[in-house]
Each structure stands twice: as C-alpha cells, then as structure tokens.
Amino acid sequence: MPGTRTPSAPVVSEQMRECLLAAEVRGRRAALRGKVSRQVPALAAVSPARFAMAVATVDGTEAYIGEAGTGFSIQSLSKLFALCALLRHEPDVWTDVGWVPTEAGYGSVADLERNHWRPRNPFVNSGALVVTDRLLTHTGDAVGSTIAVVRAGDPDAEVHSDAQVARSEGESDHRNSAIAHVLAEHGRLVNDIDRVLPQYFAQCAITASVRTIARAALFLADRSGERTVLDHDSVRRVNAVLLTSGMYGAAGDIAYRIGLPAKSGIGGGVLAVMPGRGTVCVWSPPLDDDGNSAGGVAAIEEFARLAGWSVF
C-alpha cells in the first residue's frame, strides 16, 4: 500500500508478556460466563475455549500468548478497517455515515428510520453498509481494499475472506438485507443491493490472527507520522468514534472500565488502541450480554491496568 512503512522485525517484550499472562487468567475466567454467537451459523461451533492475545507497540516491541498466529473471523472488526480504507479516498465521508453513538444496537432499522435514513455511525450495520458501498465504488473491490489495510501492518500475514462463513451469513441473514433495502429506498446506496450485501458478508468473513490485527491497527496509535495509512485528522476521528461507538451498547462501560478506543466483533475479537503507545487484540469467542467478547474485555481490562494504558 503506498505511503505505508514496511515494519521491521519486532522485538519480543518479556515485561509485556508477563502482563498478558495475568490478563489471560482473568480473560479465561470471564469467558466461562459468555456464550458463543449463533448469529452466523458457520461460527456457532467454534470452541469457547479458544484464546489468543497480542500486543504491539509503536516503538516496535510485541508480545503474544495463546493461539496468537491462528486466524479467527474478525466480523465487525472489519468495519474499522473498511472505514480506514474508505477514508483514504473520501476523508469527508463522515457527513454520510455519521459519528454519534446510539443505544439502539448495531442492527436497528427503527433507529435508521428515526435518524432520517442517515446512519448514526460507521460501526452500526447501516453505516458499515454505506462504507462498503462507497468503497466498492472507489475500488471495485471493497473486500480486497479492506484486506489491504489489514495486511499493510503485516505484509506476510495470512489474511483472507472465508467463503464458507460469508455464504453462511448470506443464507441466514434477513436484518442486513432489510437495512440495505431501507438505505436503497432513500438513495443512500450507490451500488445494487445484490452487489453490496455479498461484499459486506465477505468483508465480515475476513480471517486474521490477533497478532496481525494488533499490527494492522498500530497506525491508529502512532503519533510519529511514520505509519501513514491515514492522515492525522482521520486517525483522531476514528479513535474518537471507536471510544464512543466501537463496543455496541457498552461504550460507556468500556470507557469507564478500560478507557481506550476499542472495537469488537461477534467472532469474539476485541481490539483496543492506546494512542502514542500501541494496540492490544484478544480472541475469545464467548460473548457477554452486550455482544462483546466476555474474556476479551476482561483480559484487556487487566492488561490495561497492569500496563498503565488509558487515555484518561
């Protein structure tokens, strides 16, 4: 990707690893209280015991535990990378996708209607569908452009869209299709629904490891200007919207408990960003009542406490 620095070999930090080991204990315990999502049938059989955690810092150190190199279904984490891919073409897209939080959940047709068919933010599904549609217009391949942003921080990483997961979501979905029809009715989509939805499902079905996601998101933490995936103003806005809207209805709780911009997905992934320091990503499939990875949130809370990471 043009303008992107090729990362040099990272140095493993033993001190960070100690923090991760303590975080894993808390995370695994909390995971016992969660439930693996059945929303995408192909993901319902993933073992609740899977666990991985990775941290990457802007000064080039890293640490991992568990299955840190194993790919998992990033689902809504892809909304973050698709948004960043689009912002490279359309830095002012915020006007159309919004930037305010909502209590209505990520798949609310009623909330979209209430807001006069303008999505509340790019992390609810209506906003994400508009992002995918625009990206498709700019690049002809929304999935490929999203994967390119993920790969930019980890060029040798195994990142692909899992066709079986995408098909499974496509065959069982009604809600995203309803949202897309409402958007189309009000002229909010440029491309045909039959093109946008398969791209969206394939984008959600991107598979990558926690190590790759932590590396990929480092540009959101970097203030040195070396990782130039996005301009500084866009990075600032993306982090702000992650803090207020990245964790479904639990953003306030996460800001209180952890104090970091974060994004999660129903595959059990959670990513958090500490501006100026680094990123941390967890994969633990069981979800809590808010739809966030129960183990992931607990593990990041413990890691952030031990590492002294908080924006406040």
- Residues found near ligand GLU in the complex (CB under 6 A): 75-76, 106, 125, 169, 176, 204, 265-266
Instruction: For the CB of residue 296, give the shortest distance to ligand GLU in the complex, in Å.
Output: 12
Which residue's CB is nearer to ligand GLU, number 85 or number 206? 206
> Could you tell me the end-to-end alpha-carbon distance of the chain, in angstroms, rounded to an integer?
33
Which residue's CB is nearer to ligand GLU, number 98 or number 265? 265
Name the amino acid, one letter, at 281: C
Which residue's CB is nearer to ligand GLU, number 266 or number 299? 266
Instruction: For the CB of residue 170, give the shortest distance to ligand GLU in the complex, in Å.
Output: 10
CB-CB contact of 165 with 73 (8 Å): yes
Instruction: For the CB of residue 246, give the shortest distance to ligand GLU in the complex, in Å.
Output: 10
Distances (CA, A) of 11 to 56, 100, 211, 278, 309: 10, 38, 13, 14, 20
CB-CB contact of 93 with 134 (8 Å): yes
Name the amino acid, one letter, at 75: Q
Work out whether strand 206-208 and strand 160-161 pair parallel, antiparallel, or are unpaired.
antiparallel
To which residue do tokens 């991760």 refer? 20
Q: Which residue of this chain has its Cβ atom nearest to ligand GLU in the complex?
A: 76
Distances (CA, A) of 103 to 9, 92, 111, 152, 162: 42, 25, 9, 33, 31
Which residue's CB is nearer to ligand GLU, number 85 or number 204? 204
47 C-beta neighbours (distance < 10 Å), count: 9
Instruction: For the CB of residue 191, give the shortest distance to ligand GLU in the complex, in Å.
Output: 17
Instruction: For the CB of residue 196, give the shortest distance to ligand GLU in the complex, in Å.
Output: 12
- Polymer length in residues for the chain: 312
Which residue's CB is nearer to ligand GLU, number 63 or number 83? 83
Instruction: For the CB of residue 255, give the shortest distance to ligand GLU in the complex, in Å.
Output: 19
CB-CB contact of 230 with 246 (8 Å): no
Which residue's CB is nearer to ligand GLU, number 58 or number 77? 77
Which residue's CB is nearer to ligand GLU, number 13 or number 146? 146
Instruction: For the CB of residue 252, give the shortest distance to ligand GLU in the complex, in Å.
Output: 18
Q: How far apart are CA 201 and CA 93, in angstroms?
A: 21
The helix-helix angle for 193-204 and 125-139 (nearest 10°) equals 110
For residue 293, list its beta bridge partners.
Answer: 287
